[in-house]
Amino acid sequence: MGIFLLLLVAILVAFGQSLLFGKWALSRVKYTRQFSVTECYSGDTIEMIEVIENRKLLPVFWLRAESTIAASLRFHSTEETMDIDVGRRTQYHKSLFSIGPYRRIRRTHKVICARRGLFRIDQVSLTAGDLLGMNDKSKSMPVAIQLTVYPQVITMEEIPLPSHGWQGDVSVRRWIVDDPFLITGVRDYRSGDPMKRIHWKATARTGTLQVYQHDYTAEQRLVVYLNVMDKETTRDVVHDEELIEKGISYAATIVSDAVARGIPVGFGHNGLRQGQPEIDVRLPIGGGREHLLAILSEMAAIELRCKLLFHDFLAQDDPITEERCDYLLITSHVSLLAAEQIERLKQAGHSVQTLIIEKDYESEVAAG
């Protein structure tokens, strides 16, 4: 009889705690998540911060926060309270909490941004329950956080730039050298022109901003175009992603260097834009930090799928070519049709150079 009563009490206690703690497990529980930055570069280490608050008298014996995150955001943690199931493209991230009444827990995870991209976490699934796991409650918690990872920027010396310049046999690095002594007149101010080039007397005379008109060496207008087709037969998905990622890194480095030197630069590519596949990405020529970040953001958003064949992309380039430009085409190959479009641009008075992306055979041998 005593054992029966003991079992009955145990069952009643078990069901009682299940009803009490299970029913109210997620009541007045607040969960937030954020990254320590909103923008960074590929290779950077940042933090993902989780904060959970229990705003009630009852404790939360266990709570699991689950979400799907891109696999290229690599968590560097050995915590037993975190479980990560990593796939090729995505990973399933789980954090486990136990929190007392009116307590707040802040947990920080180190994250290595292994690859460029736009990363967004819209919601986290929260699951909590009673002490014995008899009564679980789940709900989705919106977090809506976004991280932009810019492409890796290397040094200019690591880029195999063409051996000839934008004109004739002059070194290709001529376009990054200003010649402030060759002044040929004045012209209207353009976005990206340095303040030091403003001609104040001409500005006062005309009533609009005027800048010194320098010779060609200081008046470069650079256009960098990236071909996401890894081979001539590519029509949709890129197969050699690492090859094109190298090209994106080249483009980011060259554009960053040009902007730092005060050279107006434009950018475009024939791939898809993540989340907006209908958009043709062709940013106008400009300068300054905001323009650079706009270009790097577009590079981060490149989806490695072909939207236009490269020769078709070049054929549509009339809107950006009203003034003479120096074109740098970053591509793994040049088809006959693309060569025709290159010749068309040259006939229009533009300088065109190609930077061929090549496989890193040494890395492939080492990996093998």
Is 6 among the domain residues? no
3-state secondary structure of 42: coil
pLDDT in tens, 192-224: 666 767 878 778 888 888 877 654 444 578 999
Same domain, 205 and 234: no
Same domain, 199 and 89: no
Residue whose C-alpha is closest to residue 280's, from 288, 295, 296, 269: 269
Same domain, 168 and 295: yes
> Can you read off the two tokens belonging to residue 334?
């040049």
Is 37 among the domain residues? yes
CATH number reported for the structural domain that contains residue 259 in this entry: 3.40.50
pLDDT in tens, 236-250: 889 999 999 999 999
Residue whose C-alpha is closest to residue 90's, from 72, 104, 111: 72
Please tell me the total count of domains within the chain. Answer: 3
Same domain, 314 and 206: no
pLDDT in tens, 164-192: 333 333 334 444 444 444 445 677 877 66
3-state secondary structure of 199: coil
Edge-to-edge strands, sheet with 136-150: 39-41, 136-150, 117-129, 60-70, 90-99, 82-86
Q: Are strands 29-35 and 45-54 parallel, antiparallel or unpaired?
A: antiparallel
Same domain, 161 and 292: yes
Residue 1 in this model has a pLDDT that exceeds 60: no
Q: Give strand pairing partners of 41.
A: 150
Show the domain range for 95. 28-150
Contact 262, 211 (CB under 8 A): no
CATH number reported for the structural domain that contains residue 37 in this entry: 2.60.40.1530
Q: How far apart are the C-alpha atoms of 82 and 271, rounded to whole Å?
A: 37
> Can you read off the two tokens belonging to residue 325?
């430009």
